[in-house]
Structure 1
Amino acid sequence: MSEFISHECGIALVRLKKPLAYYQEKYGTPLWGFNQLFLLMEKQHNRGQDGAGVACVKFDVPAGDPYMFRERNVETNPLDKIFQALLTRYNQLVADGAVHPEFTETAKQKFDFCGELYLGHLRYGTSGGYNLSSCHPFFRRSSWPTRNLMLAGNFNLTNTAELNDSLIAIGQHPIFATDTQAILERIGFCLDDEHEMLYRELRSQGLPGDEISRRINAELDPARVLRTAAANWDGGYAIAGLVGNGDAFVARDPSGIRPCHWFENDEVVAFASERAPLCTVFDLEAAQVSEVEPGCAVVMKKSGAVQVERITAELPKTQCTFERIYFSRGNDADIYRERKALGAGLADRILSSIGGDLENSVFSFIPNTAEVAYFGLMSELRFRRRAEVKQTLLDAAKAGTISEALVDDLILNNWPRGEKLITKDVKLRTFISQEKSRNNLASLVYDITYGVVQPKDHLVCVDDSIVRGTTLRRSILRILKRLNPKKIIIASTAPQIRYPDCYGIDMSEIGKFVAFEAAITLLKERGQAAVIEEVYRLCREELKSPGKIPVNHVKKIYEPFTADEISARITQLVSPPANGWKGEIEIIFQSIENLHRALPNHSGDWYFTGNYPTPGGFRVVNQAFVNYFEKAEGRSY
C-alpha cells in the first residue's frame, strides 16, 4: 500500500511449562521466555509502531511480594526501548551480584520480568489517542490474585457505547476511553462474579481462608468468564489475558476476522497474530502451528492444563482479506502464494491495457509490500509467453517452416521486462504549513531510477491497494511522469475499496475513499444527485429503526456504474496536471472474482463488496454515509 493506513495490532504470549531452572540449564538463561517474547514481537513489528507493552506473571510468589508486572512505551522504537531498558536493569543486577543466573530463584526474586507467563502487544492507534494510557496491556488490579487481570488485543468493537451502557446498568462507572477499556471492565466484572460465586460456595463449606484461596485459584474457569463477557461483543478481535493466579487465555472473534495462531510442546505454549513468527522463533514447520479457532478460547490453567473452549456461537468464517493482501508479513508460505496469485490475477487486464506489447513495456512495483505480487505477475506473463513460443514452434515444425531466424525472434523478443524503478527514500517531516509546499515535499518521498524507461514504453507498476489515492495524486504519478513513458498503468492487487472498516483498520470515513469520490462525482455529473439524498434518508431510517436483516444502503451509490466506469473516473481524479507530458494514465483494479480465487480461505471482503459479517458493520457503513452527508468528521463508531 503506497499510502499509510493505521491497522491491526500485534499480540504475543509465551507460557512456560517447565521450571525456570530447566531453561537455564538447556538454553543458558532463566530469561528464555522473556527473550522469546521479544523475538515474537520483533518479528511482528510491522503490526504496530505507535506503542508497545509487555507484561509478566510470576508463579508461586510468597504473600506480600509482587507477582504481576507491566512496562509500556509510546516513544519512537518503543519495543527496542522497553527491552533495552529491562535487559540493562537485569545485567546490572547480575554485575552487582544481586542475581546469579545459574540460581534461577535469585533472578525470579530480583528481576521483575523473570517469570513463567509473558504477554506482549504492538499498537497501531485507531482510537484512544497515542498516549501511554491507551497502550496495552491494560491492567485491572485487586488484592485477590484471581481478580487481577491484564489484557491486550488486536481488535475493534463496533458497539463500545452499548457495552459501556451495560456496565452503567449494573452499577459501574466506566471511563469512556477505548473499546479495550470496555472489554477489560466487562471481563473484570465477570471475573469478579466467578470469584464471588466460588468464594461463597467454599466459605459455606467452612473451609479456612488459605484453603479457599487455593481452591478458587484451581477452580476458576476463564472460559465460563469469557462466555458471559463476550455474549454481546460485535466486532473483530484476538484478545489475550493474564489472570493473577497464573491462568491465561487467548480468544478469537466468532467470524475469525482478526488472525491468531498458536502452538504447544512440552516446553512452552506460544501465541502470535501471525504464523510465520512462531515458525521462525521456535523453529517449527508451518503444519505445527494452528489457528485459534473462531469463537473459541485457548485456556491455560496455572496447573499446566491447556484446553480449547468454545465461548461464542459459530458464525460463517470471514477472515480479513487485507491481512493477506497487505498487513501480514509475506514470509508466511500461504500468504506468499496468495500474493503471487493476486499479481497473476492482474495479467489479463494489464495485457489488454498494453495491447499485448510486452516488448515495449516495463514492469515494476511500488515498494515494498507489493513485491511478491509483482513476482506473481511476472511469473504469469512469462508462463503465457512461453506457451505462445511453444505453440508457435510446434506450428512451425509441423508446417516445416521452422528457422534459426524464427527461433531467435521468439527467444529474444516480446518477453516481459522487470526493473526496480521506485524507491521509498525517506519519510520527510516538516513544519511547513502551506499546503502547496507540503505537497511538493511529499512528492520527494519516492525516488525513481532514470534512464531505464523509453518514450515508447508502457510503464506498469503494481500496488497492493489504493484507498484514498492521495499518494498517487501528490507523489507517485508526478515522479513517474519524469520517466516520460508512453503510458503509466497502476495495477492494484486489491479491488476498489468502497466501504469503511470497523474491525481493526483505520478506514471508517467513507468520504476519503477515492472510489466513493469517483461514484459521487459520476452521480452528480450524470444528473443522478437525487440518489445521494435518497441514500442519506435510507441510512438515517436504518440507524433509527434497524430491521431484522441489516441493509447496507450505501451500495446504491455504486449501483448505476460498472467497475470500469468507476476505475476510469478514479484515473481522472488521481491524475496530476500533464505539464507538457503527452502520455496516458490508467488505474487497474483486481476483480472480486480473482480476489476470491487467490484467497480461497479468506472471504472477509466487506471493504470491497459491503457485505459485513456482523450487524455492527452495517450500522457503521450507514453511519459513515450520514457523517459524510452532514459533513461530520471522525470515526463512525
Structure 2
Amino acid sequence: MTTTCTHTNPGGCATLKVKVHSPGADQETSEGESGRGMCGIVGMVSTGPVNQDIYDSLALLQHRGQDSTGMATLEGGGFHIHKAKGQVKEAYRTRDMRKLRGTTGLGHVRYATKGSAKREEEAQPFYVNSPFGIVLVHNGNLTNTRELTAQLHDQDRRHLNTTSDTELLVNVLARELQVAQDGKDFNPQQLFTAITRVHERVEGSYAAIALIAGHGLLAFRDPFGIRPLVLGRRQAGLLGTEWVVASESLVLESGDYDIVKDIAPGEAVFISTGGELFEQQCSPSPQMYPCSFEYVYLARPDSTMNGISVYEARLRLGDRLAATIAKHAPVKDIDVVMPIPDSARPAAMQVARRLGIEYREGFYKNKYVGRTFIMPGQAQRTKSVKQKLNALPSEFEGKNVLIVDDSIVRGTTSKEIVEMARRAGAKSVTFTSAAPPVRYPHVYGINMPSSSELVAAGRTIPEITQEIGADYLIYQEVEDMKDAILEGSDITELDMSCFTGEYCTGNVDQEYLDWLEGNQSS
C-alpha cells in the first residue's frame, strides 16, 4: 500500500491521496483478525533524508516481526506513507523509497496474532487527519479494546476501519489532543496533556511513536513500562542534533547514536522537526514492569533494555538453570549439551560450563525461514519447525543429549526437536527450558492469547514430558528467572504474567481471559 504526497489544508488537518498496491487484497480475511502483536518500532528526527536510516533500522528489528512493515515520513506539513506485507527487504522498492521524502519519519515491523495475516489494512502505521494530522506506530497490546471501541463510537464519534488496537490508540490520542488544544497554535504541553488523558483511558501495554504533521515526533510508553523504548542522539556536525527512538538499543549502536535513556514508564517525549527535545512524565504513579520475555527470547542479544544487557541476562539464566538441572537430572550420564539456535545459545553455554559437560552444536538453523513463535497459524508453525532446523547425526549418534531451549510455549517445536534428536541417533534426550512453564495467556503483546494452546496449561511436568516425548524435562524456576534478569539492576519487578498468572496492570480478570480465549486464538 503506497500513499502518495500529502499536504496540509487551510483548516490545519492533513489530507491524503491514497494509491493502493495490494496484490492479496482480494483474499479472504479472518473475522476479528487483529493487528496486535510483538512488533518493532523506530522513529527519527534528522538533518537529512531519513528514509534509508529507517529502512536500515527496520532490517535490524526484523526479528520482532516478519508479517508486514510500514514507513511514514514527514515533509513540510504532510506525510508520505508506504506499508506492505512481508519482510523489510521485500516490501520497499526503489520507487517506494524515493517517495518517502522528509527528514522526520517512523517505521514498523509486525506479526499477526490471529490466523494467517492477510489484511494489509492491519499493517502499521495508522493515520488520522485531525487534529493536525497524526501517523502512529505501536508495540504492545491494549486490554480494554471493547470499552475503547464503544467510547470512540458513542462519545467521540470517531470511525474505526479495522480491528487493530493501534487504530484505537491513534484515535484516542487524536481525540485527547483535540480536547487539549487551547488555541490555534501548537505547543508540546498540549501533547503532554493529551498523553496524560491517554494513560487514563487506555489499559494494557503500549510503546508508541507518532508524527504530528508540520511539528515533529512524539514517543510515549505505558505507565508500567512493559514494552521497551529507548532514546538516542547524535551530532550532525554544524547541521545540529539528530534523534532516534526505537524498540531496541542495537538500532542506536548501529547508527552511531549515543544512548540518552530508556523512556520511562508513563513518560512522553516530543522532538520538533528542528531537533528540540521536550519531555514530561505524564502518569501520576508510574511503575516499572518490563516484559520478562524480552530477555528470555524476543530481543536480540546485542541489545540493552532498561539498563540490562540481554546477552548477559541470558548467560545468568543459564547459570541458574544449571543449578536446577544438577538437582533433578542424571548429570553424570549426559554426554553433550546442545542449544536450540539462536536465542538459547548463551544459556546453553553456561549450562555446559557449570556442569562440566562438553558443549556441541547439533542443530543447524536455516535463517531464511520465519521464527516459529511468530508464524501466524499453528499449522504453519508446525511445518516451519521442520524447515528451519536440521539435526546433524554425527553429533547425536549413541549420545545422551541435554538440549537447552529458551522457552517452551505450545510444545510444537519442542516435540519436533525431540523427534529429530532421536532420528539422528540420540540415546536419550533431556530437554530443558531457560524459562519457567508458560501456563497463562500473555495479554501484553506476545502471541500467547489462549491457554488451550499452551502445553503447560493444566499439565504437570511429567505430563508435559510425555507430551513432547523427552526422557527428562527441566524448567527454570520463576524466582531464578527473575533474579537472573534483574541481577545488578535497580529494577525490582518484571511482568511475568504468562508464568505466574499475575497481571501487573491489575485490570485483567477471568472474564477478559475467557473473551480472549474465544476471540483471539492464534
TM-score over 0.5 for the pair? yes
Please identify which structure carries the higher helix content: 1
Give the C-alpha shift of residue 624 in structure 1.
3.2
- Matched with 1:547 is none
Question: Contact 1:54 / 1:118 at 8 angstroms: preserved in 2?
Answer: yes
Question: Contact 1:344 / 1:373 at 8 angstroms: preserved in 2?
Answer: yes
Give the C-alpha shift of residue 198 in structure 1.
0.8
**Residue 101 of structure 2 is aligned to residue 117 of structure 1:** no
- Matched with 1:594 is 480
Once structures 1 and 2 are overlaid, which stretch shifts more, 164-173 or 586-595? Answer: 164-173
3-state SS of paired residue (2:264): coil
Spell out the pairing of 1:24-103 with structure 2 (5 A cutoff).
31=49, 33-59=50-76, 67-74=78-85, 76-82=86-92, 84-87=94-97, 90=98
Give the C-alpha shift of residue 420 in structure 1.
1.3
3-state SS of paired residue (1:151): strand
What code does the residue aligned with 1:479 have? M
- Matched with 1:223 is 192
What code does the residue aligned with 1:335 have? V
- Matched with 1:550 is none
Name the CA distance, whole Å, in 1 between partners of 2:473 and 2:82: 46
Match of 2:165 among 172, 179, 187: 179
- Matched with 1:386 is none
**Residue 226 of structure 2 is aligned to residue 335 of structure 1:** no
Give the C-alpha shift of residue 593 in structure 1.
1.8
Which protein has the larger Cα radius of gyration, Structure 1 or Structure 2?
Answer: 1
**Residue 282 of structure 2 is aligned to residue 306 of structure 1:** no
Give the C-alpha shift of residue 56 in structure 1.
0.9
- Matched with 1:9 is 39
- Superposed CA RMSD: 2.8
3-state SS of paired residue (1:300): strand
3-state SS of paired residue (1:54): strand
Give the C-alpha shift of residue 419 in structure 1.
1.5
Per the alignment, do residues 377 and 83 of structure 1 end up closer, same or farther by CA in structure 2, a change over 3 Å counting?
farther
Match of 2:245 among 263, 271, 274: 271
Give the C-alpha shift of residue 487 in structure 1.
2.3
Name the CA distance, whole Å, in 1 between partners of 2:206 and 2:417: 34
What code does the residue aligned with 2:94 have? Q
Give the C-alpha shift of residue 513 in structure 1.
1.0
3-state SS of paired residue (2:194): helix
> Normalising to structure 2: TM-score of the pair?
0.82
Name the CA distance, whole Å, in 2 between partners of 1:332 and 1:627: 31
Give the C-alpha shift of residue 326 in structure 1.
0.4
What code does the residue aligned with 2:81 have? R
Question: Contact 1:38 / 1:83 at 8 angstroms: preserved in 2?
Answer: no
Question: Contact 2:139 / 2:208 at 8 angstroms: preserved in 1?
Answer: yes
- Matched with 1:259 is 228
Name the CA distance, whole Å, in 1 between partners of 2:225 and 2:171: 23
Per the alignment, do residues 460 and 134 of structure 1 end up closer, same or farther by CA in structure 2, a change over 3 Å counting?
same
- Matched with 1:534 is none
Question: Contact 2:209 / 2:217 at 8 angstroms: preserved in 1?
Answer: yes
3-state SS of paired residue (2:396): coil
What code does the residue aligned with 2:426 have? P
**Residue 143 of structure 2 is aligned to residue 132 of structure 1:** no
Match of 1:238 among 202, 207, 214: 207
Per the alignment, do residues 151 and 471 of structure 1 end up closer, same or farther by CA in structure 2, a change over 3 Å counting?
same
Per the alignment, do residues 302 and 332 of structure 1 end up closer, same or farther by CA in structure 2, a change over 3 Å counting?
closer
3-state SS of paired residue (2:390): strand
Question: Contact 1:54 / 1:71 at 8 angstroms: preserved in 2?
Answer: yes
3-state SS of paired residue (2:456): helix
Give the C-alpha shift of residue 424 in structure 1.
3.4
3-state SS of paired residue (1:508): coil
1:284-341 CA distance string (max 9 Å, x none): 4xxx341000001011234543122112222431100000000000112611000011
Name the CA distance, whole Å, in 2 between partners of 1:40 and 1:440: 30
Question: Contact 1:339 / 1:376 at 8 angstroms: preserved in 2?
Answer: no
**Residue 442 of structure 2 is aligned to residue 468 of structure 1:** no
Question: Contact 1:58 / 1:115 at 8 angstroms: preserved in 2?
Answer: yes
**Residue 513 of structure 2 is aligned to residue 571 of structure 1:** no
- Matched with 1:149 is 134
3-state SS of paired residue (1:316): coil
1:567-609 CA distance string (max 9 Å, x none): 112101222xxxxxxxx61111000121011111451111111
Per the alignment, do residues 84 and 587 of structure 1 end up closer, same or farther by CA in structure 2, a change over 3 Å counting?
farther
Question: Contact 2:67 / 2:111 at 8 angstroms: preserved in 1?
Answer: yes
Question: Contact 1:52 / 1:79 at 8 angstroms: preserved in 2?
Answer: no
**Residue 377 of structure 2 is aligned to residue 377 of structure 1:** no
Per the alignment, do residues 156 and 441 of structure 1 end up closer, same or farther by CA in structure 2, a change over 3 Å counting?
closer
- Unaligned stretches of 5+ residues in structure 2: 1-35, 236-240, 371-377
**Residue 452 of structure 2 is aligned to residue 511 of structure 1:** yes
Match of 2:153 among 157, 168, 178: 168
> Normalising to structure 1: TM-score of the pair?
0.68
Name the CA distance, whole Å, in 2 between partners of 1:289 and 1:141: 32
- Unaligned stretches of 5+ residues in structure 1: 1-5, 21-30, 62-66, 91-111, 200-215, 383-415, 429-434, 519-565, 576-583
3-state SS of paired residue (1:357): helix
Name the CA distance, whole Å, in 1 between partners of 2:110 and 2:396: 40
Per the alignment, do residues 357 and 45 of structure 1 end up closer, same or farther by CA in structure 2, a change over 3 Å counting?
same
1:103-149 CA distance string (max 9 Å, x none): xxxxxxxxx4332211111111226954221111111125xxx5211
Question: Contact 1:624 / 1:636 at 8 angstroms: preserved in 2?
Answer: no
- Matched with 2:262 is 291
- Matched with 1:282 is 256
- Matched with 1:448 is 391
Q: Give % identity.
A: 24
Give the C-alpha shift of residue 626 in structure 1.
7.4
Name the CA distance, whole Å, in 1 between partners of 2:385 and 2:355: 33
What code does the residue aligned with 1:346 have? L
Name the CA distance, whole Å, in 2 between partners of 1:439 and 1:608: 23
3-state SS of paired residue (1:154): strand
- Matched with 1:323 is 294
Give the C-alpha shift of residue 169 in structure 1.
3.3
Name the CA distance, whole Å, in 1 between partners of 2:107 and 2:519: 29
Give the C-alpha shift of residue 192 in structure 1.
2.3
Give the C-alpha shift of residue 622 in structure 1.
4.8
Question: Contact 2:45 / 2:275 at 8 angstroms: preserved in 1?
Answer: no
Name the CA distance, whole Å, in 1 between partners of 2:423 and 2:360: 16
Name the CA distance, whole Å, in 2 between partners of 1:86 and 1:240: 21
Question: Contact 1:147 / 1:192 at 8 angstroms: preserved in 2?
Answer: no
- Matched with 1:608 is 499
Spell out the pairing of 1:487-566 with structure 2 (5 A cutoff).
487-518=428-459, 566=460
Name the CA distance, whole Å, in 2 between partners of 1:226 and 1:35: 30
Question: Contact 2:140 / 2:207 at 8 angstroms: preserved in 1?
Answer: yes
Question: Contact 2:397 / 2:424 at 8 angstroms: preserved in 1?
Answer: yes
Question: Contact 2:59 / 2:88 at 8 angstroms: preserved in 1?
Answer: no
What code does the residue aligned with 1:446 have? L
Question: Contact 1:53 / 1:72 at 8 angstroms: preserved in 2?
Answer: yes
Name the CA distance, whole Å, in 2 between partners of 1:488 and 1:283: 45
Match of 1:191 among 177, 182, 185: 177
3-state SS of paired residue (2:502): coil
Give the C-alpha shift of residue 14 in structure 1.
0.6
Name the CA distance, whole Å, in 2 between partners of 1:326 and 1:307: 33
